[in-house]
Homo-oligomer: A and B are copies of this chain.
């Protein structure tokens, strides 16, 4: 059965496996001090056009969010996020587990608005009781969002300006960043993001790696003894090479972008297919996740032949489903899907 269930259903891009095999017998020091971690960091700094950036590799997204957020916040601070943000909804309270509140804001198609962030901060400092409240100490957003949507350069800059006015860092969850960068409708480059955000991560797990996220602190903002933070969260791999080699490969000859571009092209085909067949779109996503509204009966028939994600109930008779593409999606998969639809 073919699967459009998510972008993490298959293994890694073959070049990654090849490099893991080629380097397998090289003896290297552990915990991220190997030459591949260093080389990968160097290549990422170059790709970000941010020579002073500090880069650290972690294994997964929730882990990265928890380590970065808890190491940047003061004890009495919380993190602002959209109500639909991954940290708000789908990380099982990993942020609260570090002692910090996720201060939830309304969103539009998964995106925070600069005005609502500004409003929250203004009201907080005007409130006479704010010493009895959680200090808003950081803004978290995901790009692409959980709905596959993207911030424009203008929107992201506006949020960043609010953050800089209030001197709190802006953190971008880039679990699917590649798909955002390669989307036809984005005006944000990796260099823009490195310039606008204080810290972000370049997702590997969902963009062709076995696992791994590359955290980029753009302005020497990496917390002191960050390695120690990582270790005490149980997030430091002994064989750090596993992350170093993967990211070194992803940032050699533009593989990360190539993988992302491929998935975007497959997603464009997918959209076309659903449009042709007259399906309703839940929202307009310019990235590798596509959300459709299916009649429940249709859904039951479809799921016998193809795997996809259930998103949410739309109404009594319809359901929102998610189809995602990845490095491993092929034209044959799409052809097969066309026949089914």
Q: Which residues of A contact B (CB under 8 A)?
A: 2-3, 5-6, 8-12, 14, 17, 20-21, 23-31, 59-67, 70-71, 74-76, 78, 89-94, 96-97, 99-102, 104, 126, 128-129, 131-135, 205-206, 210-211, 224-225, 227-229, 231-239, 241-242, 307, 310, 313, 328
Contacts and interface: CB of A to CB of B under 8 A. Distances in A.
B78 A93 contact: yes
Between A63, A232, A236, the greatest number of chain B beta carbons within 10 A of the residue's beta carbon is seen for A232
A25 B131 contact: no
**What 7 A-B pairs are tightest by C-beta distance, nearest first?**
A63-B234, A11-B24, A3-B27, A92-B231, A92-B232, A76-B228, A93-B134
Given A65-B234, A229-B76, A27 B5 contact: yes
Given A234-B67, A307-B27, A99 B99 contact: yes
A101 B90 contact: no
Contact of A24 (B14, B89, B227, B235): B14
A263 to B, nearest CB: 14
Given A9-B29, A62-B236, A228-B131, A101 B96 contact: yes
Nearest to A90: B132
Contacts of A63: 234-235
Contacts of A61: 238
Contacts of A96: 78, 96, 99-101, 134
Contacts of A24: 10-12, 14, 17
Contact of A237 (B17, B59, B65): B59
Main secondary structure of the interface of A (DSSP, over half): loop
Contacts of A11: 20, 23-26, 239, 241-242
B29 A5 contact: yes
A133 to B, nearest CB: 6
Contacts of A89: 133
A237 B92 contact: no
Contact of A27 (B10, B60, B71, B205): B10
Contacts of A133: 89-90, 92
A99 B97 contact: yes
A62 B228 CA distance: 12
B14 A30 contact: no
Contact of A135 (B25, B126, B228): B228
Given A10-B28, A11-B23, A233-B234, 6 more contacts: A17-B24, A94-B233, A96-B101, A131-B231, A132-B228, A211-B242
B8 A131 contact: no
A231 B128 contact: no
A310 B76 contact: no
Nearest to A9: B27
Contacts of A78: 93, 96
A21 B210 CA distance: 11
Given A9-B30, A27-B10, A232 B76 contact: yes
B20 A206 contact: no
A74 B211 contact: no
Contacts of A6: 30
Contacts of A100: 93, 96
Contacts of A232: 75-76, 91-94, 97, 134
